[in-house]
């Protein structure tokens, strides 16, 4: 008797596998690090120390930026794992694993094809934007999960309106998502349901949602904490939430009423988010953009079941894209909410067979397989390049790498299954992403050097010390993670302003430690008039701006590891100015 996996078991296995991948190296500041993490890491420590778990503070200042739920989740994680970066970040890894499961469930419910659902789960795990936020102590992945959960139960409610729990869970997810990061948590799900009802001309689905009851569910989840904050902080909190956090993000400043300006802004933002999808969802974005016309074609053909499923996904994509393109603020990680429909539509395209008698059908299969093989090859060679030239692998690894590559390409080329090539690419990407800690340990992330600089500063037992960053290419929040006092940023994109700020910093009465690139030191401080300025330490960080010329390729062909390394790394120096007498 053949053993069959049921949906629950598949989801459990998917969660375990994805969570295991996401939690690798969470205690290390790798290439996935985001500067906003420090706000949640430090604010929750303050909550733990003071017992004030209702109103977050960052270095003694009230922090009104986001609702409270994500802080509470990190606090719970601290209670379980202790106060460390792993505990802060594993909250996002948990929600990412759950989002992968929901992606599988939605794809399977929409199309009833497990192979497509599995590929969708693999794709969403390997979307670079998704993978990065799965390892960040920021609320975006938790928000994404609750939005996906709400849309999932919204779809279940449409298909099974007699089950009241689906509409309840829809509004619970919206409410919890709002307590993570605000209005997007119910605008995206509700907008998706409304647009789907409009497209299908089936407005009965709105009555299935039971919005009256949903309003009370939302109020019960959202109001208590907000009323507490208004009572505690009064007008300052209300003004911040209504003006800074809501109005400025949605409509911006003085030109908000100009129709032409709004249209231009929408077009500019749409282009920005198209570029974001292309770059931050690569390499799958190549197939996603090809999937859109095929999806529209299938919708117009009105295939039973399939056309409604595709229309639901298009409604999801359309609402999110339109909403964020209309906002005054543009931030690339807003597109994280598209990860699930992106993965499902891309999987649908990759596994959809067109008639082979049709030239387009033959061309799609041949081009798709060859493009996937090219992407696989590029990814494989990039990993080998990083391993050999930058991460310190021995040259002997070239032989097993070559054998693995030839075996993989042979398997992909000879396989008759259409899913083999995309699954092989997904597995390779998961393997490479899981090695991000190796990249950090090899010195390819800024934190490999920053940690050494921080250790040098911490050896100074003085209590009256100023710590600053003097280069625009070094982010002060990345350095902040190693200190219990605030790190000052004394640099901008303008050279003259940077020089003035640096001189001002080094003229402070206290002892000053300043981190900056060798280039900025030579430009701004080489003639600084003080006998107390000492260069304490030098190290290298990955360059923000690469300059590749013919000598680089010559060094590459010669396997000259040192020369190739120098093209990618930039010298950073730590200077100290003693306390003024």
Q: Is the pLDDT of residue 133 over 90?
A: yes
Mean pLDDT of 123-141: 94
Both 393 and 456 in a single domain?
no
Is 285 part of a structural domain of the chain? no
Distance CA 83, CA 70 (A): 15
Give Cβ neighbours of residue 300 (< 8 Å, ≥ 6 apart).
none
In the numeric block, which tokens belong to residue 575? Answer: 């200077």
470 and 550 belong to one structural domain: yes
**What's the pTM value of the predicted model, to 2 decimals?**
0.85
Pair (81, 222) in one structural domain: yes
Q: Do 418 and 464 fall into the same domain?
A: no
> pLDDT at position 535, please?
87
User: What's the pLDDT score for residue 2?
Assistant: 44
Please determine, for residue 77, whether its predicted confidence score (pLDDT) is greater than 80.
yes
Mean pLDDT in residue range 90-102: 96
List the structure tokens of 76. 């719970």
Please indicate, yes or no, whether residues 455 and 402 belong to a single structural domain of this protein.
Answer: no
Do 70 and 12 belong to one domain? yes
pLDDT in tens, 543-575: 766 677 778 788 777 777 777 777 777 888 999
* Total domains, the chain: 3
- Cα dihedral 209, 72, 105, 416 in deg (nearest 10): 150
When pLDDT is averaged across residues 362-378 and rounded to a whole number, the result is 83
Omega before residue 283 within 30° of 0, cis:
yes
End-to-end CA distance of the chain: 86
Contact 468, 525 (CB under 8 A): no
Does 61 reside within a domain?
Answer: yes
Which DSSP helix (H) or strand (E) runs through 539? Answer: strand 533-542
- Residue after which a domain boundary falls, among 424, 441, 458: 441
Closest by Cα among 508, 504, 511 to 490: 504
H helices of 234-305, where?
235-239, 248-250, 259-280, 285-301
CATH number at residue 475: 3.30.950
d(CA 114, CA 116): 5
Task: Output 458 or 103, whichever has higher pLDDT.
Answer: 103
The last residue of a domain, from among 220, 255, 290 = 255
The H or E element containing residue 575 is: strand 569-577
Q: How far is the C-alpha of 75 from the C-alpha of 258, rounded, in Å?
A: 45
Res. 61: pLDDT tops 50: yes
Q: What percent of the chain has pLDDT over 90?
A: 38
Same domain assignment for residues 397 and 487? no
496-544 pLDDT, tens digit per residue, is: 888 888 888 888 888 999 999 888 888 888 776 555 688 888 988 877 6
- Asked, for residue 336, whether it belongs to a domain, the answer is no
Same domain, 471 and 525: yes
Considering the domain architecture, whether residues 477 and 433 belong to the same structural domain is answered as no
Burial group, residue 171, by CB count within 10 angstroms (0-12, 13-18, 19+): buried
Q: Are residues 23 and 55 in the same domain?
A: yes
Q: Torsion over CA of 65, 28, 26 and 73, rounded to 10 degrees? A: -30
| Residues 308 and 155 sit within 8 Å (Cβ to Cβ) | no
133-147, 193-207, 356-370 — which is least confidently predicted? 356-370
Dihedral angle computed from the Cα positions of residues 293, 298, 302 and 303, in that order, rounded to the nearest 10 degrees: -170
Structure tokens at 37: 């993490």
**62-66, 102-106, 211-215: range with highest mean pLDDT:** 102-106
CB atoms within 10 A of CB 60: 7
17 within a domain of the structure (yes/no) = yes
**Strand bridging mode 533-542 / 511-517:** unpaired
CA torsion angle 216 220 225 228 (round to 10): 80
- Per the domain annotation, does 269 fall within a domain? no
Percentage of the chain with pLDDT > 70?
Answer: 92
Higher pLDDT, 442 or 18: 18
Is residue 524 in a domain? Answer: yes
Place of tokens 């053993």: 3
Length of the chain: 581
Cite the DSSP H helix spans in 234-258: 235-239, 248-250
Six-digit token string for 445: 């992330």
427, 501: one domain? no
For 177-192, the pLDDT digits (tens) are 999 988 889 899 999 9
DSSP 352: P
The mean pLDDT of 57-63, rounded to a whole number, is 85
Residue 239 belongs to some domain of the structure: yes
Of 441, 460, 495, the position where a domain reaches its end is 441
Q: Are 144 and 99 in contact (CB under 8 A)?
A: yes
Write out the residue range of the structural domain in which residue 573 sits: 446-577
Mean pLDDT of 85-106: 96
In 3D, which of 469, 503, 506, 461 has the Cα closest to residue 486?
469
Q: Is residue 270 part of a domain?
A: no
Residue range 100-119: average pLDDT?
94
Residue 1 has pLDDT above 50, yes or no: no
Same domain, 412 and 453: no
Rounded CA-CA distance 480/488 in Å is 9
pLDDT of residue 581 exceeding 60, the answer is no
């Amino acid at each position: 008797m053949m053993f069959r996996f049921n949906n629950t078991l598949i989801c459990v296995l998917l969660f375990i596998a994805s969570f295991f991948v996401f939690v690798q190296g969470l205690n290390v500041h790798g290439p996935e690090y985001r500067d906003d993490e420090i706000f949640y890491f430090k604010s929750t420590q303050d909550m733990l120390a003071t017992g004030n778990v209702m109103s977050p503070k960052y270095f003694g200042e009230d922090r009104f930026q986001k609702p409270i739920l994500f802080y509470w989740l990190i606090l719970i994680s601290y209670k379980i794992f202790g106060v460390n970066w792993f505990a802060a970040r594993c909250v996002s890894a948990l929600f990412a694993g759950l989002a992968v499961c929901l992606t599988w469930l939605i794809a399977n419910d929409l199309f009833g094809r497990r192979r497509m659902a599995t590929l969708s789960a693999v794709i969403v795990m390997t979307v670079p934007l998704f993978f990065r936020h799965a390892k960040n102590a920021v609320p975006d992945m938790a928000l994404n999960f609750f939005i996906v959960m709400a849309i999932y139960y919204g779809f279940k409610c449409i298909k099974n309106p007699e089950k009241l729990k689906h509409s309840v869970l829809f509004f619970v997810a919206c409410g919890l998502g709002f307590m993570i990061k605000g209005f997007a948590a119910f605008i995206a799900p509700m907008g998706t349901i409304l647009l789907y009802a409009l497209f299908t001309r089936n407005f009965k689905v709105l009555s299935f949602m039971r919005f009256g009851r949903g309003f009370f569910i939302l109020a019960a989840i959202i109001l208590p904490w907000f009323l507490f904050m208004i009572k505690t902080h009064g007008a300052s909190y209300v003004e911040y939430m209504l003006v800074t956090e809501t109005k400025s993000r949605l409509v911006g400043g003085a030109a908000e009423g100009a129709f032409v300006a709004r249209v231009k802004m929408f077009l500019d933002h749409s282009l920005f988010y198209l570029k974001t999808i292309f770059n931050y969802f690569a390499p799958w974005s190549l197939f996603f953009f090809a999937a859109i016309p095929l999806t529209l074609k299938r919708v117009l053909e009105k295939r039973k079941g399939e056309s409604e499923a595709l229309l639901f996904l298009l409604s999801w994509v359309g609402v999110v894209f339109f909403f964020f393109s209309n906002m005054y603020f543009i931030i690339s990680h807003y597109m994280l909410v598209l990860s699930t429909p992106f993965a499902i539509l891309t999987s649908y395209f990759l596994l959809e067979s067109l008639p082979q008698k049709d030239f387009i059908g033959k061309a799609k299969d041949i081009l798709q397989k060859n493009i996937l093989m090219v992407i696989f090859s590029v990814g494989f060679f990039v990993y080998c390049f990083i391993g050999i030239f930058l991460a310190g692998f021995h040259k002997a690894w070239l032989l097993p790498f070559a054998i693995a590559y030839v075996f993989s390409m042979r398997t992909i080329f000879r396989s008759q299954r259409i899913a083999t090539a995309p699954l092989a690419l997904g597995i390779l990407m998961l393997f490479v992403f899981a090695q991000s800690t190796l990249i950090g340990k090899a010195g390819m992330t800024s934190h490999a050097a920053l940690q050494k600089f921080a250790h040098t500063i911490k050896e100074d037992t003085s209590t009256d010390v100023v710590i600053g960053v003097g280069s625009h290419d070094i982010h002060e929040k990345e350095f902040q993670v190693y200190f219990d006092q605030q790190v000052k940023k004394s640099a901008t994109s303008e050279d003259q302003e940077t020089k003035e700020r640096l001189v001002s910093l080094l003229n402070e009465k206290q002892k000053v430690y300043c981190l900056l690139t060798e280039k900025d030191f030579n430009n701004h401080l080489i003639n600084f008039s003080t006998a107390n300025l000492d260069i304490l330490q030098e190290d290298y960080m990955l360059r923000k701006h690469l300059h590749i010329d013919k000598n680089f390729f010559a060094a590459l062909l010669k396997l000259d590891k040192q020369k190739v390394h120098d093209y990618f790394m930039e010298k950073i120096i730590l200077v100290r100015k003693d306390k003024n007498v």
